[in-house]
Amino acid sequence: MELTNKNFPALKNDRLLRAALGKEVDKVPVWVMRQAGRYLPEFQAVRAKHDFFTVCRTPELACEVTLQPLRRYPHLDASIIFSDILVIPQALGMTVEMHPGLGPVFPNPLKDPSEIDNLQEENAVSRLDYVGKAITLTRHKIEGKVPLIGFTGAPFTLMGYMIEGGGSKTMAKTKEWLEKYSNEVHKLLAMLSRVIVDYLVMQVESGAQLLQVFESSADHLPRELFKEFSAPYLKTIRSEVKRKLEAKQLEQVPMTVFAKGGGHSLDVQAGLGYETLGLDWTVDPIEARKIVGDNITLQGNLDPQDLYKKPEEIRSMTIDMVRKFGKHRYIANLGHGITPQTPLESMTAFTEAVHEAV
C-alpha cells in the first residue's frame, strides 16, 4: 500500500489532543521537548553516521529518530517530528551548519537590513518539502500509537539567529536592530510569519496533528518589546493557519505557543488564540492558572536540571507539579528541552510519575 496523507492508521491514544482542546482525560498526557536527542544512545548512533541536517532532510532517518524515544518510554503520549527551527532560514537561502559542542552556526549572518531583500521568500516552503515527507512517513510508522506534533520557530527567535549568526547570550546585534531599524525589523518579521504560516499548513496537510511554535528567545524581550516584536506575529500566525486550513478544507489542529522567558506576559499570550501555552520552569503553575483563566491548556514545566536528581526525587517533584497544575487542561512536559547528559532512567521516572499522579 502506498503511504500517503490519506490513509493514516487510526489514532489510539488521543490524550494530548483531548487535553489541548479542554476535554476530559483519563491520565495527564506527557511528552518532553527534545525527546529525540543526544541523551539517547540510539540517537547518538544515528548521529555518528550522519550529519545533523542530513538526518533532518532524510525522511527515513528523521522518522527513525522521531520513533526512538517512543520505543524506550512507553508512557510518552506524543511524538514530535525530528527537525530544527533553523530549516526556515536555510529555505530562505541562508547557510546554517551544526557544529558539535557549539550548536548552530551561520557563516554569513544578516549584516544589515539591506540584506533582507536577498532572502528568497518565493517557494521557500517547497524547499521544506522534506519535512512534509518525514511527517507523512512517520504518521504511518507510528501506527496511531500517539499523535505527531509539528513545529516551527517563531519569527523573533528565527530573526535573532539570522542576525547573530548562531546562539547568543546577549543578543546584542538583534537588540541594536530593534532600536535602529524597527521598520525593517517589522518587514522581516512579517515575511517570516508568511513563510511560517504556509510551512505549518503544509505540515498539517502532511499529517501533523498539533503544532507548536517555539519563541525560545523571548527571554531577551521585556514585556513591552514582547508586545511589539513577538505577540502580534504569534497572533497572526495562529489566525492565518486557522483561516488557510479552512480554505483548503483541511482539519483544524490545536496549537501551542511556547515563549521561553515570557512569564511576564502570560496575560498577553493567553489572548493570542492558541489552545495551549507552554511554560518554562520559572513560572509558578498556580499563579499562571490565575493569570490565564480556565479556557486554555497549560504545558510544562519541570526544570530540565531536575532530571539530574535521583529517580525517587524526580518522581516526587513530578507528582507535586502535576497536583499543582491539576488534571484538567494540562499537558506535562519540561520547562525547556531535555539536556544531553540526562540519565536514561530519569525519563522513566518522569513519564511514569505523570501517569501515576492525580
161 in catalytic set: yes
- 33 touches ligand CP3 by CB under 6 A: yes
Nearer to ligand CP3, 35 or 236 (CB): 35
Rg (CA), the chain: 19
Nearer to ligand CP3, 149 or 349 (CB): 149
Residue 197: CB minimum distance to ligand CP3, A: 18
> Which residue out of 14, 84, 139, 330 is catalytically annotated?
84
Task: Output 82 or 330, the one with its CB closest to ligand CP3.
Answer: 82
Q: Least distance in Å: CB of 249 to ligand CP3?
A: 28
Q: Is 330 among the catalytic positions?
A: no
Among 39, 73, 106, 214, binds ligand CP3 (CB under 6 A): 214
Question: Quick check: is 323 catalytic?
Answer: no
Q: Do residues 177 and 113 make contact, with C-beta atoms less than 8 angstroms apart?
A: yes
When the beta carbons of 208 and 289 are compared against ligand CP3, the nearer one is 208
User: Of these residues, 18, 38, 72, 127, which one is catalytic?
Assistant: 38
Site string for ligand CP3, 162-181 (x = CB under 6 A): -----x--------------
Task: Tell me, yes or no, if 47 is annotated catalytic.
Answer: yes
The verdict on 25 binding ligand CP3 (CB under 6 A) reads no
Active site residue 38: yes
Residues of the shown chain interacting with ligand CP3 in the complex, contacts defined by CB under 6 A: 33-38, 47, 52, 80, 82, 84-86, 98, 100, 103-104, 151, 167, 214, 216, 260, 337
Q: Which residues are catalytic?
A: 34, 38, 47, 84, 161
